[in-house]
Amino acid sequence: MADSTLCCCEYVDENGDRKHILECCCNCVELDYCFERCITCKPIPYSLLTKIMAMISERCRVPWKGGARQCSFSVILPIVMIPLFLIAAAQGVWMSVVTFAFLPIFLIYFHFIFMKFYSYTPFFFVWNIGTFFTIFIIFEYIGVTLLEIRKKNHKWYMVFLIASLSFLLLCSNLILTTACHPAKFIGSIMLPDDCTEVYFDILYAICFVTSIYCIEAAVFILSVILFEFWLITIGMTGHEFRNRSRRAILCGLCSSRPYSKGIIRNWVTYFKGTNNVYVHYNI
């Protein structure tokens, strides 16, 4: 049968029969026999496990133009199991305990299974990549929407910004003085003097562009810090600043600021943490 006659969810199995991917759980004789031996506490022969793994590999497919394409079971499993584990663990305290206690057993068991039947498996590689993207998606679409800077943690937010700025500037200076010709500035403090030869060696070039990246990130963080300092100085929150009248000039200095007590008192009130203007601050 020509593949062009197949719809996106159909395929031809090893026996030449036309199958649909929705039939992946139908007519599983080997799996039924394996389950029967499990519930009757009988040993499962190695040949039966081999047939089951071959059957899973044959039926694990994704819809594709011209017929369903075969996809590795070790690739599909992490993509499906990671969200299922997280959803199951989120159902309650005891579900979290059971899920995270079962997770190492699950990974160790499948490690031996895949090592037994495959000489090479991308299971753990895909698991790591899937974990990274799952955490990133949860943080971006759930965590960030719940993220609020309030009066109690606004100072820690500022400390984090200043620490990040210091870290980036220190790293960029150390990398630049290593990749470029350094020159003494004050005492033991050194600054880059000549960077004209960095692109003659790929390692030095990577160091150089990394330091430029650090400087660019530091400039961005510095702009955020200066913006925060300005808000504290004029006694406004970020929410009030973004929703100010478009006719307001001088970056909010001429806007209505009911909580402002003057530049000095605004800073004193900020460090004391007693002003209601900082009770609720949205990023």
Q: From CA 250, how far away is CA 149, in angstroms rounded?
A: 25
Q: Is the confidence at residue 26, as pLDDT, over 80?
A: no
pTM of the entire predicted model: 0.49
Q: How far is CA 72 from CA 22, 23, 57, 89, in A?
A: 17, 18, 6, 27
Q: How far is CA 145 from CA 138, 151, 179, 283, in A?
A: 10, 18, 41, 10
Q: For 162-197, how does the pLDDT look when each residue is reduced to its tens digit (9 = 90+)? A: 898 898 888 888 888 888 877 777 777 778 777 787
Task: Give the type of residue at 150.
Answer: R
The residue with greater pLDDT, 155 or 87, is 87
Q: From CA 106, how far away is CA 45, in angstroms rounded?
A: 21
**Domain spans in the chain, listed from the N-terminal domain onward:** 3-70, 73-146, 149-281
Phi then psi dihedrals of residue 282, to 5 deg: -90, 140
What average pLDDT does range 127-145 have in this prediction? 79
Q: From CA 159, how far away is CA 140, in angstroms rounded?
A: 23
Share of the chain above pLDDT 70, in %: 70
Q: From CA 188, how far away is CA 192, in angstroms rounded?
A: 13
Give 13's pLDDT tier (boundaries 50, 70, 90): low
pLDDT at site 282: 46
Which of 109, 113, 35, 101 has its CA nearest to residue 73? 113
Task: Give the type of residue at 176.
Answer: L
DSSP 8-class letter at 61:
E
Q: Is the confidence at residue 229, as pLDDT, over 80?
A: yes
Whole-number average pLDDT of the chain: 75
Q: From CA 106, how far away is CA 50, in angstroms rounded?
A: 19
Q: Is the confidence at residue 100, as pLDDT, over 70?
A: yes
pLDDT at site 205: 85
Q: How far is CA 114 from CA 21, 53, 109, 119, 242, in A?
A: 23, 9, 9, 8, 55
Q: Is the confidence at residue 74, as pLDDT, over 70?
A: yes
Q: How far is CA 160 from CA 71, 140, 143, 155, 217, in A?
A: 44, 19, 18, 9, 14
pLDDT at site 2: 46
Burial label, 66 (beta-carbon count in 10 A; 0-12, 13-18, 19+): middle
Q: Is the confidence at residue 243, as pLDDT, over 70?
A: no
Element of type H or E holding 181: strand 181-186
